[in-house]
Structure 1
Amino acid sequence: MGPPTLWQSFRQIIGRAMRETGQAMDRVGVKTAMLAVTKHDFYDDPVRFEDHLSRHRQLFPLLTAGRPVVHPEVAYIAPCATLIGSVRVGPGSSIWYGAIIRADACENAESFKKTDEEILAEELETWKLPEKDNRDDSLTGGGVYIGENTNIQDACIITAKADHCRIGNGVTVGHLAQIHSATIEDFCLIGMGSIIQEGATISRETLIAAGTVVTKGQVIGAGELWMGNPARKVRDLTDKERERLHYQSNEYVTVALGHQGTMQLGGNLSESMLLSQGQVDDSQVGEREVEQIDSTSISKESVPVAASNP
């Protein structure tokens, strides 16, 4: 796909202007609503209504690099996570707070012509990149593919500048870890602060210890423990340790489901969501007398998120 035409550029400018105008009106509306006061009962003090507002863009499409596609049954995408360009996230996976996943250095404008279902069906068959000598100087990379029941934890950075970045099923990527154009097979654990460099391959059920640096093109076998800078093999994992890798990824799916809906009223869950999660039963609904959350009222009592921190 060539550069955008004059008409496409014009539409982009007009669209951005309209969006910024809408954001300005939204800010005025929020400030106006904050001036309202209400009473729950005659003995309550007046309460200021403050809406929890976030304009952070989780999904960031790019005209030439494509758009992020998230499976409808994904466990959780944090409100402050960022997915840029050709990123695919499978069912049951979770992207946690402050994580950044970038696939912005590729040519995949064709994704805008396809539905989400068509794109998700192609995940296993990633598009073939041309040889590096034949690539455009500014667009050389691939996409980021994240499988099922995988968790990308807080402040991780995942990129695909040199090639596709493939992360399999049931993978745990610890806080602050970095993965750059590498392949992570199923049920691996990438420790906190680790760096996986371009072209590296981490085979199935392998544990990369915290702070480990896996160098470019390095291939790590299945069921092994690696650590250090540069990474070196320490030993093989026991059967119990391998089972633990499966258990941990499944537990993160449960934790992620508990974080769904945290943007409602600044982190408090609605009664209907608590019912669906099994946190309260029908008999408690009348007792709690939780009002419907809307733009003009708040609930009688705030209901905290019933989930443990990851």
Structure 2
Amino acid sequence: MALIRPLGGFTPQFGKNCFLAETAAIIGDVTTGDDCSIWYGAVLRGDVNPIRLGNRVNIQDGAVLHTLHRKSVVEIGDNVSVGHNATVHGARVEHDCLIGMGATLLDNAVVHSGTIVAAGALVLSNQECEPGCVYAGVPAKKVKTLTPEEQHRMITLNAEHYLTYSSWYTE
């Protein structure tokens, strides 16, 4: 079972049908929606401010979600994939996004709906990523506008695949 640790008067709260890998650590003021998955080695540390996940969010292996004390929160919308070893530090990710492997989102950054942050990209503090685009590089810059078909293929299907993967572990 995952490490689920109350802290500071807050106990992590989980929606229905969530998969929590045995080596995931979820601490303090963390709330998830339904059908979420938190994978091996992921850390959601809601010790200094809240972390809120919508429905059908997958936090992949080794990802870290944390906040800046009294200055930022993590808010993640529905149908979001946070890739392996990504860091989301006090940022907001709206619905239907893909945060690539090893990407970093810093405090008060906003990734608008339908956007992909490419693997290894660095979204700076207070930076806003336009909806329906791909951001890549260090620092992250807009490199492409996505068609609805590309959004479906790259974002929606990724989130759906993680629903399937998590079902293998909860059967």
**Structure 1 residues 66 and 215, CA gap change in structure 2 (3 angstroms):** same
What is the aligned partner in structure 1 of residue 63 from structure 2? 156
Q: Please say if residues 65 and 103 of structure 1, whose CA atoms lie closer than 8 Å, have aligned partners that are also in contact.
A: no
What is the aligned partner in structure 1 of residue 38 from structure 2? 95
| Alignment deviations for residues 95-134 of structure 1 (CA, whole Å, 9 cap, x no partner) | 00000000101xxxxxxxxxxxxxxxxxxxxxxxxxxxxx
Note the 1:95-174 alignment, pairs <5 A: 95-105=38-48, 142-161=49-68, 162-174=71-83
What is the aligned partner in structure 2 of residue 240 from structure 1? 149
Stretches (4+) displaced over 4 A: none
Give aligned-pair identity as a percent.
34
RMSD over aligned Cα atoms:
1.2
Cα distance in 1 between the residues matched to 2:15 and 2:37: 11
Cα distance in 1 between the residues matched to 2:123 and 2:55: 24
Q: Please say if residues 37 and 59 of structure 2, whose CA atoms lie closer than 8 Å, have aligned partners that are also in contact.
A: yes
**1:210 maps to which of 119, 137, 140:** 119
> What is the TM-score with the length of structure 2 in the denominator?
0.94
| Alignment deviations for residues 12-31 of structure 1 (CA, whole Å, 9 cap, x no partner) | xxxxxxxxxxxxxxxxxxxx
Shift of 1:57: 5.2
**Structure 1 residues 252 and 57, CA gap change in structure 2 (3 angstroms):** closer
Note the 1:1-310 alignment, pairs <5 A: 58-62=3-7, 64-74=8-18, 76-105=19-48, 142-161=49-68, 162-244=71-153, 245-260=155-170
| Alignment deviations for residues 216-270 of structure 1 (CA, whole Å, 9 cap, x no partner) | 000111000110000111010122111121121012101101112xxxxxxxxxx
Q: For structure 1, which runs of at least 5 residues remain unmatched after alignment? A: 1-55, 106-141, 261-276, 278-310
**Structure 1 residues 231 and 97, CA gap change in structure 2 (3 angstroms):** same
- In terms of Rg, which structure is larger? 1
Higher relative contact order (CA 8 A, sep 6+): 2
What is the aligned partner in structure 2 of residue 299 from structure 1? none
Q: Please say if residues 2 and 21 of structure 2, whose CA atoms lie closer than 8 Å, have aligned partners that are also in contact.
A: no
Q: For structure 2, which runs of at least 5 residues remain unmatched after alignment? A: none
Cα distance in 1 between the residues matched to 2:61 and 2:2: 17
Whichever structure has more helix as a proportion of its residues is 1
Q: Count the aligned residue pairs.
A: 168
- The code of the aligned residue for 2:14 comes to V
- The code of the aligned residue for 1:229 comes to V
Shift of 1:196: 0.1
Whichever structure has more strand as a proportion of its residues is 2
Q: Please say if residues 65 and 104 of structure 1, whose CA atoms lie closer than 8 Å, have aligned partners that are also in contact.
A: no
